[in-house]
Chain A
């Protein structure tokens, strides 16, 4: 049995019984006690359990929801990380890209700092901050009217027109068969529309659960997208629909283990 399978089983066991002994797990899983101790250590680091003499107890301080995903202000962190991992592989070193503002794009930015030679344009302050510690890549932050953590407006658009992009990565709030691509503010919509005109490739990033939803401001039809990146839980009807539109659809499958 592989470590990940074993760890899932230990978790399930602890959730049910609250405590377990090393000897018990060792005989259950048919591996040595050393292996079990190593697994428990790992789980302790994650904060899932506390090791006690000869075994472990469930970390009762945590409520159940924690056990599925770590507590964050944002409930979709795992999905965003998955998407970031996929986007990482469609961007080549030395690309000139733009990341629009958004929580998923922030995760993408974090991941992209591992690349080198990128030139990244953004209107999101947090994304800019990620790249500030990545000397191998060049970061250009647009100027404009600040709204929370991002800049918009005519100033930002004028600013953007000095650049030519090979790849634009847009995070949107809704993708719908009838209304197309939508976002939550008009200033964001117009910024994205402008950026699309300047990019060779347009990739749209959207969480799977936002498919079928509509936000108020329309960016455009789906045909502006060359690629769409989302989670593997996307509904089948959208897969059919997008493939027929000749859009490359990436779903972040994470199943294989090296």
Chain B
């Protein structure tokens, strides 16, 4: 039997809004261990623990039977683990060869550190030929596309001496031929004796590559199986887990007229033929895997992307949304996925962040009546339970309170159509509940909502209808009561045909 490279024993990690609990996972030599789970289930966090970026709160990690000290950037892990992330981190101005062998450069003279370029390029050429890569030694990384950069990163994992290789969603951005190449490289990594943690959303990867599979959900391991003995349905069932629909506070609203529709919306080669309708008092849920274009779709609907084809209708009338400003004027609000960069003004306090979309109402000959503005804002801030200390900088507030302030902003501006992109991701439970109940308040008063989330339970618990974005388009659009988590999961992992 192959020897055990890595073992985690009862590892716990508590962060502000998330925890990994009782993680037991191991990795053998020459093994591809697939890790699956929804977005935000803790896969990447677990890998950061394994690679030593974050020290666990408790528990023990063993490498080849030897206990590792629980501290961040532990040197015990440094040489043994290589972690290839989704966002390739490369030195873009250097050549492929330099990037590949950066940690292991051949020197003409060790003392003077003069690099032996002939040898370097030769080594690289050998590798390119061995793997049949469609690149040249002398290309600089900046000339490569995203997928090619990733392939180079995989090669780096291949040539390194690390016993444990972590590939974080390596296949998500690749074309079929690049997929082939990825499989080839991964199998070579396996052949050189390393163990691979392979994070993916794609069930095909599991059956083609995986030796064992571990499913992780809400920071807990749901189970580890040997792939050969585990039918695909079993994996889907484990992925969806025991789900609880009824903990989301859903209210029953009689739906009103159609207030927002998209017809045949397409964008470049990313989105194709999207149709959707939002009604007064209705919540349309949209889910899909990371990279399926959910956020792009949200931006298209908000006029934040140029060259979108197709029509958008508000109250049945065609409108041209060529800028977010137009969208806002038409009563559309977007709560973007990335709070820090896309929706809050870091330099302003909570009060001004809330007020920013409603300033016009308080202006008198381009002078803002700050006294009245403050009174009005204070009212909204209090009603959403945002801690009263309105002069603090918004960055000092917790994520939950920041998100509630963003909510207050659009509520104050009286938007009618709310596009919420992952509104509760990474929030504490209390803020989530406040947001669900605020959504209830919105639909009770005839607003319409598009609720984008990767948490399928949440979608099924909150929304009236659910649409799944997969293979560039919405593959279904059905009432939430008629569909199960398993079915949604299956639809979102389906490939475009």
The answer, among B247, B375, B414, B437, for a CB contact under 8 Å with A257, is: B414
User: Chain A residues near B361 (CB, 8 Å)?
Assistant: 1-2, 5
Whether the Cβ atoms of B441 and A247 lie closer than 8 Å is: no
Would you give the shortest CB distance from A96 to chain B, in whole angstroms?
A: 15
Contact B244 A2 (CB under 8 A): no
From residue B435, how far is it (CB to closest CB) to chain A in Å?
9
Min CB gap B460→A, angstroms = 13
CA distance A240 to B430 in the complex (A): 6
A234 to B192, CA, bound (A): 58
Q: Chain A nearest CB: distance from B30 CB in Å?
A: 41
Give the interface residue-count category, chain A: 35 or more
Using A226-B246, A249-B433, A256-B411 as known contacts, say yes or no to A90 and B379 having CB atoms under 8 A apart.
Answer: no
Interface residues on B, range: 35 or more
A233 at the interface (CB under 8 A from B): yes
The answer to whether residues A254 and B246 also contact, given A9-B372, A240-B430 and a CB cut-off of 8 A, is no
The chain A residue sitting closest to B280, CB to CB, is A258
- Would you call B252 and A246 a contact (CB within 8 A)? no
A232 in contact with B411 given A5-B376, A89-B253, A247-B247 (CB within 8 Å): no
B385: which of A89, A232, A247 is its contact (CB, 8 Å)? Answer: A232
Type the 1/0 row for A26-48, where 1 means its CB is closer than 8 Å to any CB of B.
Answer: 00111000000000000000000
Q: How far is the CA of A112 from the CA of B446 in the complex (A)?
A: 19
A253 touches B434 (CB 8 A): yes
Asked whether any CB of chain B lies closer than 8 Å to the CB of A223, the reply is no
**Does A246 contact B441, Cβ atoms closer than 8 Å?**
no
Nearest chain B CB to A142 CB, angstrom units: 27
For the complex, is B383 an interface residue (Cβ under 8 Å from A)? yes
**A22 vs B438: C-alpha distance in the bound complex, in angstroms?**
36
Which residues on A sit within 8 Å (CB–CB) of B253?
Answer: 89
Q: Is A8 positioned at the interface, with any CB of B under 8 Å from its CB? A: yes
Give the CA-CA distance A257 to B444 in the complex, in Å: 10
Q: CB-CB contacts of B426-451 with A at 8 A, as 1s and 0s?
A: 00111011100110111011110000
**Identity of the chain A residue whose Cβ is nearest the Cβ of B432 in the assembled complex:** A243
B247 pairs with A246, CB closer than 8 A = yes
* Contact (A255, B384) CB under 8 Å given A5-B376, A89-B444: yes
CB <8 Å contact, B372 and A5: yes
Q: Does A227 contact B (CB under 8 A)?
A: yes
Q: In the bound complex, how far is the Cα of B369 from the Cα of A29, in angstroms?
A: 9
Interface string of B246-263 (1 = CB under 8 A from A): 111111110000000000
On whether A255 and B372 interact (CB within 8 A), knowing A89-B444, A226-B246, the answer reads no
Give A235-258 interface residues, CB cut-off 8 Å to B: 236-237, 239-240, 243-244, 246-258
Q: Indicate whether B89 reaches chain A with its CB closer than 8 angstroms.
A: no
Judging by beta carbons under 8 Å apart, are B376 and A8 in contact?
Answer: yes
**Across the A-B interface, how many residue pairs have beta carbons closer than 8 Å?**
106
B-chain residues with CB within 8 Å of residue A237 when the two chains form the complex:
430
Report the separation of the CA atoms of residues A248 and B446 in the bound assembly, to the nearest whole angstrom: 22
Report if A232-B430 is in contact (Cβ < 8 Å); known contacts: A89-B444, A250-B249: no
A105 at the interface (CB under 8 A from B): no
**Residue of B246, B414, B432, B441 with highest tally of chain A CB at under 10 A:** B441
Q: Which residues of B contact A255 (CB under 8 A)?
A: 380, 383-384, 408, 411, 438, 441
Q: Closest B-chain residue to A233, C-beta based?
A: B385
Supposing A2-B414, A89-B444, A246-B247 touch, asked if A253 and B383 sit within 8 A by C-beta, the answer is yes
Q: How far is the CA of A239 from the CA of B433 in the complex (A)?
A: 7
B397 proximal to A (CB < 8 A): no
Which listed residue, B244, B251, B362, B429, touches A86 by the CB 8 Å rule? B251
Which chain A residues border B432 with CB–CB below 8 Å?
243
Q: Quick check: B429 and A254 within 8 Å, CB to CB? A: no
The reply to whether the CB of B307 lies closer than 8 angstroms to some CB of chain A is: no
Q: Which of chain B's residues have a CB closer than 8 A to the CB of A232?
A: 383-385, 434, 437
Partner of A254, one of B244, B362, B372, B441: B441
Distance in Å from the Cβ of B415 to the closest Cβ of chain A?
9
Question: What's the Cα separation between A250 and B249 when bound, in Å?
Answer: 6
- Quote the shortest CB–CB distance from B208 to chain A (angstroms): 37
Beta-carbon contact of B430 and A250 below 8 Å: no
- A12–B376 alpha-carbon span in the complex (Å): 11
Contact among A30, A236, A240, A250 for B440, CB-based, below 8 A:
A250
Residue interface bits B341-356, CB-to-A below 8 A is 1, else 0 = 0000000000000000
B332 CB to closest chain A CB, in angstroms? Answer: 15
User: Is B249 within 8 A of A248, CB to CB?
Assistant: yes
- Chain A 1-21 per-residue mask, 1 if CB under 8 angstroms from chain B, else 0: 110010011001000000000
Q: Verify B433–A251 contact, CB threshold 8 A.
A: yes
Cβ of B364 within 8 Å of any chain A Cβ, yes or no, is: yes
Contact across chains for B375 and A248 when beta carbons are under 8 A apart: no
Contact residues, A99-121 vs B (CB, 8 A): none
* Alpha-carbon distance A164/B87, docked complex (angstroms): 58
Q: Which residues of A contact B (CB under 8 A)?
A: 1-2, 5, 8-9, 12, 28-30, 85-86, 89-92, 226-227, 232-233, 236-237, 239-240, 243-244, 246-258
Ordered nearest first, which 8 A-B pairs have the shortest CB separation? A236-B430, A89-B251, A239-B430, A30-B364, A246-B247, A255-B383, A253-B441, A250-B249
A-B contact pairs, 9 of them (CB 8 A): A12-B375, A237-B430, A239-B434, A246-B246, A246-B247, A247-B247, A248-B248, A253-B438, A257-B414
Additional 14 contacts, C-beta under 8 A, given A89-B440, A243-B433: A1-B361, A1-B376, A9-B372, A89-B252, A91-B252, A232-B385, A236-B385, A237-B430, A239-B430, A248-B246, A249-B437, A253-B434, A253-B441, A255-B438
